[in-house]
A and B are shown apart, each in its own frame.
Chain A
Amino acid sequence: MAKVIVVTSGKGGVGKTTTSASVATGLAKRGYKTVVIDFDVGLRNLDLVMGCERRVVYDFVNVIHGEASLKQALIRDKRLANLDILPASQTRDKEALVKEGVERVLNELRKTHDYIVCDSPAGIETGAVMALYFADEAIVVTNPEVSSVRDSDRILGILSAKSKRALDGDEPIKEHLLITRYDPNRVSAGEMLSIDDIIELLGIPLAGVIPESTSVLQASNSGVPIIHDENSISGLAYQDLVERLLGEEIPIRFITPVKKGLFKRLFGT
């Protein structure tokens, strides 16, 4: 039974697209036939992070409007044969996401794929609501700062009030908390909210903590999802997240402060 997972946050710039790319890649690496859909119509980014921006011909909106078949629009990942990308349209706006059309595309994908990862746009308007409407599970991406936590709280409210599962009275969407850009040193200095603070405020189970790392930006810029990078603690933390999504119980890593030596203090990391 295919699962639809939405990656959402309310706030922009917290790491939704990075997370969508890595989670989809991680699930595909584990052997699941996976597709990742960019719901950010008008601000297409996922294709860049996945490194397939030069192969976009047709997009999600074309498929919704019947201007292209799903087969024509899906882009095969260049590294993994069982991973597909459905890019957003850059020239349209979010109103092009019609509920019936989105449902038809998702139902078609459910027949062929095990996991459908929906990369939500920021905000709480049409695009974000469409991305979460049909979800079975949600990864709520939060940075350790108050405004991000507040927006995540808002999006959790929308998940429990406006999603199809909520409106149909079905079993609620399974919610996972993902804390990204976590810097243990700044948390211990009291500059960032701690993991416990965030869990206490949001009240949903923690699925992962991605430590802040310069390798994430480098990976995004070069179009390789960070989960491929075995030398990056952020990449390893994303691998752990995927394991937990699949039901494994493994401890959270990379959350204790690292003491910098004199050399590093003088010359940075």
Chain B
Amino acid sequence: MNTVQSNSSAPSKLSPKEDRAPAAVLKGSVFTLPILKISRCELQEIEFDLTQSLAAALDFFNNAPLVIDLALTRDLEEQLDFPALKTLLAKHNLVPVGVQNGSAAQTAAARMAGFAVLTGQTIDKIIENSAHKSHVKETTPAASRQESSSVSAPPATVESTTQVIHQPIRSGQRVYARGGDLILLAAVNAGAEVIADGNIHIYAPLRGRALAGVTGDTEARIFCHCMDAELVAIAGSYRFFDNIPEEIRQKSVQIYLTGEQLNIKPLD
């Protein structure tokens, strides 16, 4: 009943024509990774600012693979200590995978420290901030609706994008529009999370959590058609709802920040 096939021939004799599933296949794929822009070489300063950005992003970058952009440090006199930088990032649960835009000396030092060297975007594109939000990208459900631990983001080569999502975001799902706005045309259900660096528009009930401006944009707003949220946040200022006040419950509202104050106002 139990048939065990033993193959006496050595592995080196296996030819591709033989009827066996390959144990290893090389394939090309495109990944989008967050970029850490470094403008100075003092590790203490880097750590201080990094801690602040990470706090604003909640736990979103936990174990995120990361590319270090060296464009702003390539002409500096001092040199970055790459092994120490690697340790520092690891301490904050970040996984640096490579560097880009470094000088020849930096690139060599990074290679020595075990970083991959990526050919990245041009310098002015990096310096430009995300003020221009013209490019709209339609995302397919499979690409944008990932399970909780994963992140969906637009390709690094596009300056900023808006994600439009047509399917409901269900309990346990999380959608993140990196570097842009998020527009949802179906419900965000209880236990789901929608997150954007920019604004969030929801033309359906919001029953889960919505976090806008997670990288610190205090001008970001949340607009929703039917307010039934568990939690809303803008640039780290949040409010959760045990009971939603009658005047905004299931109403069209906009949510914005004035100073530290989170305002939730009916739209009509």
Binding site for B on A (CB under 8 A): 66-69, 124, 150-151, 153-154, 156-158, 160-162, 166-167, 169, 172, 201, 203
Contact = CB atoms under 8 A, between A and B. Distances in A.
Given A161-B173, A203-B187, 19 more contacts: A66-B2, A66-B3, A67-B1, A68-B1, A69-B1, A150-B190, A150-B191, A154-B191, A156-B170, A157-B147, A157-B169, A157-B170, A157-B171, A158-B147, A161-B142, A161-B147, A166-B141, A201-B189, A201-B207
B216 to A, nearest CB: 29
A157 B187 contact: no
A162 B190 CA distance: 20
A203 B167 CA distance: 10
B172 A167 contact: no
A157 B190 contact: no
Contacts of A169: 140, 142
Nearest to A65: B2
Contacts of B145: 157, 160-161
Nearest to B204: A203
Contacts of B192: 157
A158 B69 CA distance: 35
B146 interface: yes
- The interface centre, meaning the residue of B140, B145, B173 with most chain A CB atoms within 10 A of its CB, is B173
A203 B171 contact: no
The interface residues of chain A, by DSSP majority, are classed as helix
Sorted nearest first, the 9 A-B pairs with minimum C-beta distance are A157-B170, A153-B171, A154-B171, A157-B173, A153-B170, A154-B172, A153-B189, A166-B142, A156-B170
Contacts of B109: none
Contacts of B186: 203
Interface of B: 1-3, 140-142, 145-147, 167-173, 186-187, 189-192, 207
B172 A157 contact: yes
Nearest to A203: B168
Contacts of B146: 161
A169 B145 CA distance: 13
A154 B208 CA distance: 12
Contacts, number: 53
Contacts of A201: 189, 207
A67 B170 CA distance: 40
Contacts of B173: 157, 161
Nearest to B172: A154
Given A160-B167, A169-B140, A153 B190 contact: yes
B171 A150 contact: yes
B147 to A, nearest CB: 6
Contacts of B187: 203
Contact of A153 (B1, B140, B167, B191): B191
A167 B146 CA distance: 11
A18 to B, nearest CB: 24
A216 B192 CA distance: 34
Contacts of A162: 147
A138 B210 CA distance: 29
Contacts of B167: 160
Contact of B170 (A66, A69, A154, A167): A154
B25 to A, nearest CB: 15
Contacts of B170: 153-154, 156-157, 160
A167 B142 contact: yes
B121 to A, nearest CB: 28
B189 to A, nearest CB: 5
A67 B2 contact: yes
A210 B189 CA distance: 25
23 contacts: A67-B2, A68-B1, A150-B191, A151-B171, A154-B171, A154-B172, A154-B191, A157-B145, A157-B147, A157-B169, A157-B171, A157-B172, A157-B192, A158-B147, A160-B142, A160-B167, A161-B142, A161-B147, A166-B141, A167-B142, A169-B142, A172-B141, A203-B168
A166 B141 CA distance: 8
Nearest to A170: B142
A100 to B, nearest CB: 9
B56 to A, nearest CB: 27
Nearest to A68: B1
Contacts of A161: 142, 145-147, 173
For A124, A151, A153, A169, which residue has the most chain B Cβ atoms within 10 angstroms?
Answer: A153
